[in-house]
Every structure is written in structure tokens, then in C-alpha cells.
Structure 1
Amino acid sequence: MERVNELAKSKAIVIFAKSSDCMCHSIKTLFYDLGASPAVYEIDRDPSGRDLEWALQKLGCKPTVPAVFIGGKFVGSAKEILGAHLTGSLKEMLIEAKAIWF
């Protein structure tokens, strides 16, 4: 759990993902298209990936990936991120976290 918290605070946007998951790819692409540069941790390629996945589950991440943190705070999975994007609040969160500038 401690490692997840440390990684989540390491950059304005942190995404925990799996390399073969299509929703993870879509969420990463969305952030890149918005001009952001997230830190991406692919837990299926990490030696302690199972521990990371377990910690994400304890935080309430269901499904466990993609799990998106903005400004060190857990925002949600693909459903929450896409919803925030559709309402325009995602862009506001990114500006507030200084992940993008406008």
C-alpha cells in the first residue's frame, strides 16, 4: 500500500495499468491527447505487480486497472475518467494539478 501511495504522488498524473488491457490503452491515449504526460506503471510488467494490484483493490479500485491518480488523489477507473472527460471536469482537474496549462 505504501508503494502505491508513493508512486501516486510522484507525478501530477499516475496511471496503474496492464500492458495488454485495451481500456488502459484508451485511458493513456486520452491523457496524451489532452497534452498530459502521465507516469504509467504497468503492473503486469512489475516484479511486485501482484502486491500493487492487491493494494489497488484495498483502495477500492474495481476493476484494479486502469487506476488513475491526479494530484496524488485517486480519481477512479476508466468509467470515472471518461465521465469526467465528457463533463469537462477532467480538464479542470488536470489544470489544477498542473498537468496541463491553458
Structure 2
Amino acid sequence: MVAKLQTGIRSNNKMSIMDQTDSSQSNHHMINICSIDNMNPYEVVSQLVSGNAVVIFSVSSCCMCTVAKRLLFGLGVGPTIVELDHHPAGSEIKDILFQLILPAAVATTTNHLVQPVPAVFVGGKFLGGIETLMACHINGTLVPLLKEAGALWL
């Protein structure tokens, strides 16, 4: 089981390693976000997204978040994972993510309830949620996106 700090953020980014942890899925690291503790939630999201090849904003009890993480792990990607239910500004970050996905949901006029997680960012850009991630995987565009972002080297 992966130990978590109060920040709720796990990363493979060796530049910001605070503590190495064991994981059955992959070798992940907790990161110290002391440098972004005083930032507002929008700045936290911006900093994380711009500084990591792949970022997933997740809730630990969300089954679709688990699917997104397992897909990326299975492809050999070590994403930065932000568990919003363990992050001090989790609810504020969730509100920001909802604002990001709302225009796309209105444009597609979907009738189902819009969920802000999982929210997947690749190469500093918002890719989308589980539906977009799966669609990219099925149509063959996900791996090239991950390679372009520097998350895959093969």
C-alpha cells in the first residue's frame, strides 16, 4: 500500500522526491509541495500540470479514476496523481476542474451527470476525463500523445 502525505500528491518526478514509497502497481514517489502551499488552488493546478508530463486529478474512492490510473500504469506511464480527497485544497481544485469540463459537457449536450474526476492532463494540456482517455486509447492517439509529452520513450 502506498503511504500518503497530507498533500495527497504522488509523483514520479525525481526532482521533487520527498520520500520513496513501495507500491504494488509501480515505483511512485511522494512529492513535497511546500513551495506551492501558499498558492491559490488555480496556481496549484497550473504548477502541477505545467511541471509534469501526465497528471491525473482523482478521488481515491472513484472507480473510473482507478480505471484511468490502471490504463496509464499498464502503458508504462508514471503519472503524477493528485488525490483530491487527501489534498487540503481538494474541494477548491475540484471546482476548478469542473469549470474546465463544463463548457465541453454543454457543447456535447450530454444528459448524464458531469463529473470533474478523473481529470487527465497530458503535456500541460487538459485531455479530458475517462471517456476521452479511453477514446484516445481505442483510436490509437493516446500513445503518440504520451510520447510527445515525454511520458513514454518507446
Question: What is residue 38 of structure 1 aligned with on the other side?
Answer: 79
- RMSD after superposition: 1.0
Is residue 90 from structure 1 mapped to residue 142 from structure 2 by the alignment? yes
Unaligned runs of 5+ in 2: 1-41, 103-113
Indicate the structure (1 or 2) with the bigger Cα radius of gyration.
2
Partner residue of 2:153?
101
Q: 2:99 matched to which residue of 1?
A: 58
Aligned to 2:88: 47
Alignment gaps of 5+ in structure 1: none
TM-score by length of structure 1 reads 0.95
The runs of at least 4 aligned residues of structure 1 exceeding 3 Å deviation read none
Partner of 2:128: 76
Q: Which residue of 1 aligns with 2:65?
A: 24
Residue 63 of structure 1 and its aligned partner are, at CA, apart by: 1.4
Counterpart Cα distance in 2 of 1:76 and 1:59: 9
What is the alpha-carbon distance in structure 2 between the residues aligned to residue 98 and residue 10 of structure 1? 12
* Number of positions where the alignment pairs a residue of Structure 1 with one of Structure 2: 102
SS at match of 2:51: coil
One-letter amino acid matched to 1:88: G
What percent identity do the matched residue pairs reach?
40
Deviation at 1:16, TM superposition (A): 0.1
Structure with more contact order per residue of length (Cα contacts < 8 Å, sep ≥ 6): 1
- Secondary structure at the counterpart of residue 98 of structure 2: helix
